């Protein structure tokens, strides 16, 4: 799992049957200081995240199949929206 920020969404009217009904978001991974790395990915969203949200992203295609409840082609899935976390004794808020 990795921490990322949602920076956009993807709209695709023609897609693989495994993608039907699934929300796709663009995420940018965060470094240990909470800054975006510029390393972006497209992720399925099962946590109803929005642009600007800080999220937990699972980087495993098998997890995508389990979380979505069906077979699909995908390797990144947003599984949670982060409210806050504690890192090195410092609480970071993400509202």
Supply the pTM of this predicted model: 0.85
pLDDT tens-place string over residues 27-57: 999 998 889 999 999 998 989 999 999 999 9
Q: Give per-residue pLDDT as tens, 51-87.
A: 999 999 998 766 666 666 666 677 899 999 999 988 8
Res. 10: pLDDT tops 90: yes
Residue 4, token pair as written in the block: 């990322």
Q: What pLDDT shows up at residue 33?
A: 84
pLDDT at 22: 80
**Where would I find the beta strands (DSSP E) of the chain?**
2-10, 24-30, 36-45, 54-59, 76-81, 84-87, 90-93
């Amino acid at each position: 799992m990795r921490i990322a920020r949602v920076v956009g969404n993807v709209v695709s009217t023609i897609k693989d049957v495994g993608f039907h009904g699934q929300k796709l978001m663009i995420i940018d991974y965060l470094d240990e200081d909470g800054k975006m790395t510029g390393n972006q990915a497209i992720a399925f969203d099962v946590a109803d995240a929005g642009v600007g949200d800080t999220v937990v992203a699972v980087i495993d295609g098998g997890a995508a199949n389990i979380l979505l409840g069906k077979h699909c082609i995908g390797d990144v899935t947003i599984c949670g929206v982060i409210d806050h976390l504690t890192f090195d004794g410092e609480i970071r808020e993400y509202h």
